Structure 1
Amino acid sequence: MSFFQNFWDIVWWLFCVYAIFAFLWALFMVIADLFRDHELSGWWKAVWIFFLAFVPFLSLLVYMVARGKGMTERSREQARKSQAEMDSYIRQAAAASPSEEIAKAKALMDAGTISAAEFERIKSRVIA
């Protein structure tokens, strides 16, 4: 009888694969959090890494219970910092400098596309 002929063997195999990936994901998240935490000394990080290497399942559970709240806060702070950096970069890359906007408005006024009053309004908006 082939392995994949029994439906429950397939379900059990998928569950085991899922459990392995979930465990590895949690392990890597804990290791990343260890190195993200600047309040934890190097010795404590080494102790956690030692226990994660030799008693992985138990130390993973203990870490999540003991330091889970701080792990969440550090993860949120990292996400906020990344979002702020991305927003800053997008604003910097997308926005024209005030002198460029005034030069464009001046070119439009010289071409007769906008009036002098509209040019002054654009200029005051850009400067403000």
Structure 2
Amino acid sequence: MSDYPLLSAFLTILWFFLWVMWFILLFRVVHDVFSDDSLNGWAKAGWTLFVCVLPFLGVLAYLIARGRSMGERTVRRAQAQEQAFRAYVREAAASAPTAGRSRADELATLAGLHDHGDITDAEYKAAKAKVLVP
């Protein structure tokens, strides 16, 4: 038998995951401090110093004081990234080389896809009809 009982192993794993969660929260707070454009340099320095000198109290105070706006900023950044991605896809699709291709080129591409087995017979016929109809 082992000298390390199951409950001790469970508590060790629990403490390890709490430790990991703490560091994730700490890094998220520090990231939010530096990515917030509404804070001036002194406020950023103050929060960073507070979080580094008294980490538990600093993170708790930051979450109480700025927790709601932290979530709102995260959502706004995600929405801005989504809009930028959609704009990029629209721009890339508009400038795709297929825009200036002839019908013969598109039919040759479709035939190659069909011969290679990438599209089924039904998909090939539907795409071919789409290309041939003006």
Q: TM-score, normalised by structure 1?
A: 0.73
| Structure 2 match to 1:64 | 63
1:104 counterpart (96, 102, 105): 102
Q: Within 5 Å, which residues of 2 pair with 1:44-55? A: 44-55=43-54
Equivalences, count:
111
The structure showing larger relative contact order (alpha-carbon pairs under 8 Å, at least 6 residues apart) is 1
Q: Secondary structure at the match of 2:68?
A: helix
- Sort the Cα spacing of 1:57 and 1:80 in 2 relative to 1 into closer, same or farther, 3 A: same
Q: TM-score, normalised by structure 2?
A: 0.70
Q: Secondary structure at the match of 2:49?
A: helix
| Structure 2 match to 1:89 | 88
Q: CA RMSD in A?
A: 2.7
Kept in 2: contact 1:30–1:60 (CA 8 A): yes
| Structure 1 match to 2:5 | 6
| Structure 2 match to 1:37 | 36
Q: Distance in 1 between matches of 2:16 and 2:97?
A: 59
Q: Distance in 2 between matches of 1:28 and 1:106?
A: 56
Q: Distance in 1 between matches of 2:67 and 2:104?
A: 58
| Structure 1 match to 2:20 | 21
Q: Secondary structure at the match of 1:39?
A: coil
- Sort the Cα spacing of 1:99 and 1:56 in 2 relative to 1 into closer, same or farther, 3 A: closer
Identity %: 30
For residue 101 of structure 1, report the CA deviation from its aligned partner.
2.9
